Amino acid sequence: MFLQYKDVIVAIDGSEAADKAFNKSITVAKNNDSRLILTNIIDSRSFATAEAYDRTLAERADEEAKKLIDRYVTLAEEQGVNNIVKCIEYGSPKVKIAKEIAKTFEADLIICGATGMNAVERFLMGSVSESITRYAKCDVLVVR
């Protein structure tokens, strides 16, 4: 039986683990002629309180996310992947990726790094990759 992935989400946050997940997603997308959905979730909980003092935090986070996604788009295109979708959302990456974004794009595979940027949250509440594997309705590839 041959399983072909048509809609592949890769979670990116600028970490080394996300870079490895992205590299794996390029291989999968090319081998399957897949649509590659690059997603970055801006964890708005991390700056909600501080925004009372500095209202530009959300704007700056959004701009950084756009730069990050654009960098990955360029890398994907350079490697021959052209069916690319950009997805920037606000909220909890644990909830958004597995429950909302995967459903919206009818993903058959989510690729993520084993560890991301936020070590404190991982220690206190568990990792994003763990949550994705627990709640996703599609296949999940966790890249080390």
Sketch the domain layout of the chain as residue ranges: 7-143
Q: How confident is the model at residue 1 (pLDDT cuts 50, 70, 90)?
A: very low
Candidates 17, 20, 16, 26; CA nearest to 8 is 26
Check whether 42 has a pLDDT greater than 60.
yes
Q: Which tens digit of pLDDT belongs to each residue from 43-53? A: 877 666 666 66
Q: 101 pLDDT exceeds 90?
A: yes
7-143: in CATH 3.40.1050.10? no
- Name the one residue in this structure whose structure tokens are 């090319």: 30
Q: Tell me: the pLDDT tens digits for 73-96? A: 999 999 999 999 999 999 989 889
**Partners of 87 in beta bridges:** 39
One-letter amino acid of 52? A
SS3 state at 21: helix
Residues in the chain: 144
Between CA 133 and CA 128 the distance in angstroms is: 9
How many Cβ atoms are within 10 Å of 38's Cβ, its own excluded? 24
